[in-house]
Chains A and B, each alone.
Chain A
Amino acid sequence: MAGTKYEILDPETGRLDPSIYTDDDIYRREMTHIFGRAWLLIGHESLIPNPGDFFHTYMGEDPVILSRGSDGSVNALLNMCRHRGARLVRADDGNCNNFVCSYHAWTYDLDGTLGYVPGEQEVYHGELDRSKLGLKRARVATYAGLIFATWAEDAPSLEDYLGDARWYLDMEFNRSGKGTYAVGPHKWIQPINWKTAVDNCSDWYHVPVSHASAANAMFRVLGEPRFTHDRLFQMRGRAAFVNGHQVQYFKMPEDSLAAESKAIPTATAEDDTAEAVERLGEFRAKSVVLGTHSLFPNTVLGFRLAIPRGPLKTEFWHFALASNADTPEQQREVLRVHTARNGVTGHFEADDVDNWRQVSESGLSGTYRELGQRVNLGIGHSHTDDVFPGMLSDNFVSENNHRFFYQRWQEFMNADSWADISLDPQKAQYEGTAGMNE
């Protein structure tokens, strides 16, 4: 099995093997080759503001404690006791001085150091080397308040992992020096493969169809024309792809038909422009609007984690992200809109889940596996640009990003180590003062 090389996508025809959604061996391999290697979004600084704060999260199927040390540092610790594997933290979040295992009371500091073991002299005879038995630590890095972690010692820096995708992501996450804060999560489980929710981020082709009734209601309330196929095909943004990350964007004013709609999600306050110009430069602050996006492997929109629980089981953790620069009314509006459209209560969500379930389950049919899916929209219609980073779709409505996502998936699955995984060259020009954490 270790030697298997996966070839699940034919980029010439778009033929995609649907067993990637249902096969147990493939799923197991994803856990080591993707979730064991990639930088995974695990939380946000605002969830652990004070020393002693902890937030329970996951890296793949691994339970992880996200903790704030007494020195203010951020720790990501495997939530499994080094003794017999029991869970240290049994709550969603909280504040404490240390983590005590409920089995034998092995006690770990906030940074995972094994600080105390009962009977260390009496029954371990002083033979225990506590310094080698701390909780397993993941590498942690942050970007604009978002906390990422990886198990891979040989992974590139988070900055290199995001690469030129950050040129786009800054426009949502880095507009204000006051930063963002996370609300939530809402947590719920769906009988789908995690990848279908991620590739859907770049899928606009389905919007007037799957979301017909929800869109009708929304556009009626907004006082805008109905969202028809005609209107969709007039939208002029692009789908961009960098290092596995998918970003849809609109350039103003040429793509104004898209961006003038209040239906396009943005996370910006109306009067943040001056600060955004300082931090991002005039062009990014004013001329580019971000659409739907995802981070490789399993982070969706802004932000939701698609946590794998099995080939046909995914647990969603859905956060709303509000800006500290917004007024309380604006913050409430962001949260209201966020839960109205997507999330466990979202109007659009219900339409999407049905699609994801069917796409996922298509892998159960031997007959259909022989046919394969055809992720074929926009083949041969992509280009690059001197200003806009990444591989760009010629049309806003495209499945280029879907195909690139599965190629990236294949690259991780077939790699023996990070040495075999490529990063796109970094060419983006960053204006303004915003950095990874400034």
Chain B
Amino acid sequence: MSDQDDERWTTAGRVGDLAEGDSMVVTSPGCPVRALFLAEGDYYALDDVCSHGRSSLSEGFVDGTAVECVLHGALFDLRTGKALTMPATVPMTTYPVRVSDGEILVRDRPHEN
């Protein structure tokens, strides 16, 4: 049995629900709220609550493969969760995303890092 059979994945939506540069909130029981993005043709998922303050990254501005938090302007790399600018210094937790049969799936368990 592959890893994926033991993992829980949450269906966030269908391909086409998100336009390029857009985001949506993904909720599933037992998980923190996640933000899902479509950036430069790929899907990325991070914890929704900014590591710097009480703000929702799903409300942020997508800039290339980064998202800018609306509250204080911190930039995070969507691919790695890395805090790219002040005032954020703590990276965001990221989650694998895959597409299967037109469905966008976000893994409940984050990337190891």
Decide if B53 is an interface residue (CB 8 Å cutoff): no
Q: Enumerate chain A residues within 8 angstroms of B75, measured Cβ to Cβ.
A: 226
Segment touching B, from A150-158, A207-215, A265-273: A207-215
Interface contact A226-B84, CB-CB below 8 Å:
yes
Proximity string of chain B (61-100) to chain A, C-beta cutoff 8 Å, 1 when within and 0 when not: 0000000000011010000000011110000000000000
Q: How far is the CB of A31 from chain B (nearest CB, A)?
A: 39
Interface contact A228-B84, CB-CB below 8 Å:
yes
Interface centre among B72, B84, B86, B87 (most CB of A within 10 A): B86
Give Cα A298–Cα B4 distance, bound, in whole angstroms. Answer: 66
Which residues from 186 to 219 on chain A have a C-beta closer than 8 Å to any C-beta of chain B?
Answer: 208-209, 212-213, 216
Q: How far is the CB of B29 from chain A (nearest CB, A)?
A: 37
Q: How far is the CB of B17 from chain A (nearest CB, A)?
A: 30
Please name the residue on chain A nearest to B75 by beta carbon: A226
Q: Enumerate chain B residues within 8 angstroms of A208, measured Cβ to Cβ.
A: 85-86
Which residues from 206 to 247 on chain A have a C-beta closer than 8 Å to any C-beta of chain B?
Answer: 208-209, 212-213, 216, 226, 228-230
Give Cα A228–Cα B75 distance, bound, in whole angstroms. Answer: 10
Interface contact A216-B84, CB-CB below 8 Å:
no
Q: Enumerate chain A residues within 8 angstroms of B72, measured Cβ to Cβ.
A: 213
Q: How far is the CB of A223 from chain B (nearest CB, A)?
A: 13
Which residues from 4 to 63 on chain B have a C-beta closer than 8 Å to any C-beta of chain A?
Answer: none
Please name the residue on chain B nearest to A230 by beta carbon: B84
Q: Enumerate chain B residues within 8 angstroms of A230, measured Cβ to Cβ.
A: 84
Give Cα A230–Cα B86 distance, bound, in whole angstroms. Answer: 11
Chain B interface residue count, CB cutoff 8 Å, equals 7
Chain A interface residue count, CB cutoff 8 Å, equals 9
Q: How far is the CB of B40 from chain A (nearest CB, A)?
A: 17
Interface contact A212-B87, CB-CB below 8 Å:
yes
Give Cα A208–Cα B74 distance, bound, in whole angstroms. Answer: 12
Q: Enumerate chain A residues within 8 angstroms of B86, measured Cβ to Cβ.
A: 208-209, 212, 228-229
Give Cα A208–Cα B84 distance, bound, in whole angstroms. Answer: 11
Q: Enumerate chain A residues within 8 angstroms of B87, measured Cβ to Cβ.
A: 212
Q: Enumerate chain A residues within 8 angstroms of B85, measured Cβ to Cβ.
A: 208, 212, 216, 226, 228
Q: Enumerate chain B residues within 8 angstroms of A212, measured Cβ to Cβ.
A: 73, 85-87
Please name the residue on chain B nearest to A210 by beta carbon: B86
Please name the residue on chain A nearest to B74 by beta carbon: A212
Q: Enumerate chain B residues within 8 angstroms of A226, measured Cβ to Cβ.
A: 75, 84-85
Proximity string of chain A (345-380) to chain B, C-beta cutoff 8 Å, 1 when within and 0 when not: 000000000000000000000000000000000000
Proximity string of chain A (295-307) to chain B, C-beta cutoff 8 Å, 1 when within and 0 when not: 0000000000000
Give Cα A229–Cα B84 distance, bound, in whole angstroms. Answer: 8
Q: Enumerate chain A residues within 8 angstroms of B73, measured Cβ to Cβ.
A: 212-213, 216
Q: Enumerate chain B residues within 8 angstroms of A213, measured Cβ to Cβ.
A: 72-73
Q: How far is the CB of A279 from chain B (nearest CB, A)?
A: 41
Please name the residue on chain A nearest to B86 by beta carbon: A212
Give Cα A213–Cα B73 distance, bound, in whole angstroms. Answer: 8
Q: How far is the CB of B99 from chain A (nearest CB, A)?
A: 31
Q: Enumerate chain B residues within 8 angstroms of A228, measured Cβ to Cβ.
A: 84-86
Q: How far is the CB of B52 from chain A (nearest CB, A)?
A: 11
Q: How far is the CB of B42 from chain A (nearest CB, A)?
A: 21
Please name the residue on chain B nearest to A216 by beta carbon: B73
Give Cα A213–Cα B69 distance, bound, in whole angstroms. Answer: 13
Give Cα A229–Cα B85 distance, bound, in whole angstroms. Answer: 7
Give Cα A408–Cα B73 distance, bound, in whole angstroms. Answer: 41
Interface centre among A209, A226, A230 (most CB of B within 10 A): A226
Give Cα A230–Cα B75 distance, bound, in whole angstroms. Answer: 13
Q: How far is the CB of A252 from chain B (nearest CB, A)?
A: 27
Q: How far is the CB of A357 from chain B (nearest CB, A)?
A: 20
Q: How far is the CB of A167 from chain B (nearest CB, A)?
A: 35
Proximity string of chain A (420-436) to chain B, C-beta cutoff 8 Å, 1 when within and 0 when not: 00000000000000000
Point out residues on B near A: beta carbons under 8 Å.
72-73, 75, 84-87
Apart from A208-B85, A226-B75, A228-B85: 15 A-B pairs, beta carbons within 8 A: A208-B86, A209-B86, A212-B73, A212-B85, A212-B86, A212-B87, A213-B72, A213-B73, A216-B73, A216-B85, A226-B84, A228-B84, A228-B86, A229-B86, A230-B84
- In the complex, 16 of the A-B residue pairs with CB atoms within 8 angstroms, ordered by the A residue number, are A208-B85, A208-B86, A209-B86, A212-B73, A212-B85, A212-B86, A212-B87, A213-B72, A213-B73, A216-B73, A216-B85, A226-B75, A226-B84, A226-B85, A228-B85, A229-B86
Closest 3 CB pairs of A and B: A212-B86, A228-B85, A226-B85
